[in-house]
A and B are shown apart, each in its own frame.
Chain A
């Protein structure tokens, strides 16, 4: 009965992954059909790494991931803090916020690309209102800076998710703990730091890990945002695949990416022992 479900997931997850690994060790160029399946050891990896755009894409990806994890986690924390206070409209804001998370990242990317154009909204509004004298050419800035803008787009999209998760966890802090802290004379900030923060630490780490994963493997948003001007590893793995018809290289790149993302996630989550994640969700402690 449950076997179909798990079997399906298992089959379609393990099998392609295994095949991806296999492919990354094997030559597979579609316009050379007689050479398909030739075992090349680490040749694909080495070749993929040596592709001119690979190094740059790794840097881009790491930069994007680092900044977005920081920004989104902190922003989510801050907004969650505010929204956890009891003021009128707090829950309404929380609900409405979700809208930006629900739309395709592709849409968000394109949207922000337009906003930053020289004739785009940000420039239009700010110049017409007289705040700036002349338009700022956001999209002509060096790629490093452009990635920061991509982070803004990602933040726009992910903020509700991060905020919601952290907010809900905050609301679970037992009142008794808060009360006794207040009685002990803890002020606003100290209350947050010493009481709430440790309590929500697992959630913060989960959010950070999740955002890291999303950023590392991001394809949709960056693709429509940059339109090919710069890319993350996912993009190049893909391009390698379809533009150059070299499945071997593409597979190698994606395997590298998989390794990286697993590594990052495990590092972040190290602080919460991984057993907790499955054991507790399981046996009901």
Chain B
């Protein structure tokens, strides 16, 4: 069996390297002087000059009014002629916006999806099947289709540049999945406790609050995390709903870096590293609470 085990280790190591190495590169690259990042391969200029924290410092401090912290020409390639175009000082605010939006969406998802899932699984009402199919189908629409009418709607309501609009559309985008997941999850929980509480005279709402929510903790956590993730990463709607560069979310900011006329790779590395790390921490932290096997089992059925 030795050979087989080696293969397993080999493949999994390969996968790990594939996944993690780029991230590592981003983090490390943020410490390398720009000149080195731009040098032609083969010149072997790695860290010849020594690492610098100037880029990270700049990103983190510029919202507070600090200029670029280094005059070393090696670090500031040719003096950074158009640095201000990158608007690095807007990165931290965009981070804040992203977190606010994502948190709001997560909370909304939590509330609405749990109510909806509860209704779908525990109660019986006319049109239940149809509505559920509808919820599922709405997942299948490409976001782009919704983009244009939504834009018109928001524009006519005067809500452009309003985080609320983004929160709303992100919630609409993430709710179908949350509802679906919770429905599947709740199905695996026996109804006895809720039935007992109803028999004891509690109303539906009371039953929901005290029993259902307590039991479905793991599922609720999963959709909270998932909807947070999804709306944090949301790009399409955030991009056109938030027009001003000083008021965007993280992915949109990254997008502006991608299309800007000026390219400073060191700063891009540092920015990307800073966008990756929070999510990485989040995911790793919550992983142990989420049981994927349940989810897959539910999907299989």
Contacts and interface: CB of A to CB of B under 8 A. Distances in A.
Interface of A: 1-2, 4-6, 8-10, 12-17, 19-20, 23, 78-79, 82-83, 85, 87, 89-90, 93, 95-107, 109-115, 118-119, 121, 123-124, 126-128, 134-135, 156, 159-160, 164-165, 167-169, 171-172, 188, 200, 202-203, 206, 213, 216-217, 219-220, 223-224, 227-228, 233-234, 237-238, 241-242, 247, 250-251, 254-255, 257-258, 261-262, 265, 277-278, 280-282, 284-285
Given A169-B300, A206-B299, 15 more contacts: A6-B135, A19-B153, A23-B148, A83-B12, A99-B279, A103-B233, A104-B275, A107-B251, A114-B265, A128-B41, A128-B42, A219-B235, A220-B236, A228-B259, A261-B142
Given A105-B233, A124-B41, A254-B147, A110 B20 contact: no
A110 B38 contact: no
A282 B41 contact: no
Contacts of B146: 12-13, 16-17, 20
A99 B276 CA distance: 8
A161 to B, nearest CB: 10
A33 to B, nearest CB: 13
A93 B268 contact: no
Given A97-B16, A98-B287, A258-B141, A115 B25 contact: yes
Most buried by A among B22, B148, B257: B148
Nearest to B135: A9
B145 interface: yes
A46 to B, nearest CB: 18
Nearest to A157: B19
A51 B5 CA distance: 55
B301 interface: yes
Contacts of A102: 229, 233, 279-280, 282-283
A168 B297 contact: yes
22 contacts: A1-B115, A12-B146, A83-B12, A85-B4, A85-B8, A90-B12, A96-B284, A97-B16, A115-B22, A119-B40, A135-B40, A165-B292, A172-B297, A220-B236, A224-B255, A233-B144, A237-B144, A242-B240, A257-B144, A261-B140, A281-B184, A282-B120
B219 to A, nearest CB: 14
Interface size class of B (residues with CB under 8 A): 35 or more
Interface in B235-265: 235-236, 240, 250-252, 254-255, 257-259, 265
Between A20, A104, A262, A282, the greatest number of chain B beta carbons within 10 A of the residue's beta carbon is seen for A104
Contacts of A96: 16, 19-20, 284
Interface stretch (B51-59, B67-75, B175-183, B210-218): B175-183
A258 B144 CA distance: 8
A149 to B, nearest CB: 13
A79 B15 contact: yes
B19 A127 contact: no
B152 A172 contact: no
> Which among B26, B176, B183 has the greatest number of chain A C-beta atoms within 10 A?
B26
A79 B193 CA distance: 40
Point out which of B9, B118, B254, B269 has the most chain A C-beta atoms below 10 A from its C-beta. B254
B195 to A, nearest CB: 14
A265 B137 CA distance: 11
Nearest to A207: B299
Interface string B4-45: 110111011001101110110110010000000111111010
Nearest to A220: B235
Given A119-B40, A224-B258, A8 B299 contact: no
Given A15-B149, A156-B18, A238-B144, A99 B284 contact: yes
B269 A114 contact: yes
B268 A114 contact: yes
A114 B240 CA distance: 25
A110 B175 contact: no
Residue with the highest number of chain B CB atoms closer than 10 Å, among A8, A111, A156, A200: A111
Given A106-B251, A135-B41, A254 B148 contact: yes
B60 interface: no
A208 to B, nearest CB: 13
Contact of A17 (B37, B38, B46, B141): B141
B221 interface: no
Closest 5 CB pairs of A and B: A168-B296, A2-B119, A127-B41, A217-B142, A19-B149
A215 to B, nearest CB: 11
